[in-house]
Amino acid sequence: MAFTNSVFDRLNAGKSGVTVNGASIGGDATALFVTVEGYIETGNAGSFQTSMLEMLQECMEIGIVVIDIGKVTYMASMGIGAFITILSRTKEMGKRLFLCSVPKRTEDLFRQLGFWDMFEKVDRPESALTGGAAPAVFPARIPCPTCGRALKVGRTGSFRCPSCRTVFDVNAEGKLA
């Protein structure tokens, strides 16, 4: 059975604060790209989880699921719990789950709770079709733009050089922004 967004209609029809949509990606339609918008917290995490599990059950031929959470404005620990359950079910079914466009605040929550490394991540949905993420960018060695000292950075964001105290930004490619 091919994927249709009707799987998410019940969730999207309510005023739950979260909207989910999906579309097949790749020429053979064995991968699904799901976008999530809004917030996932105690009040809607269960509905979100149920919709995602129904989608997995309906789409048995889908082998890869990419969930883009770049437009999730807030995620509570209950939301993380929903993702853990979704990941577990995905693996039980022999599928692969990738997270895409993870906001920094959400990444920090995954890390604080110790679940970040459980998930495969991709920078864009098509990367999942080739077996996973592009080669790892981080940790990266970045020269300080002022004094030239080589600094090791483990993620995107703002950093301060310990030698000259210059603040600089590093982008997703591991380069100075």
Asked if residue 135 is part of any domain, the answer here is no
67-126: per-residue pLDDT in tens? 999 999 999 999 999 999 999 999 999 999 999 999 999 999 999 999 999 999 988 888
Considering the entire predicted model, what is its pTM? 0.68
> Residue 17's domain is classified under what CATH number?
3.30.750.24
Three-state DSSP state, 125: helix
Q: 100 with 148, same domain?
A: no
Q: Which of 69, 14, 17 is nearest to 43 (CA)?
A: 17
Cis peptide before 139 (omega within 30 of 0): yes
Q: 22 with 41, same domain?
A: yes
DSSP H helices in 8-167: 9-13, 45-58, 77-92, 104-112, 125-129
Q: Which residue range is the domain that position 156 belongs to? A: 140-170
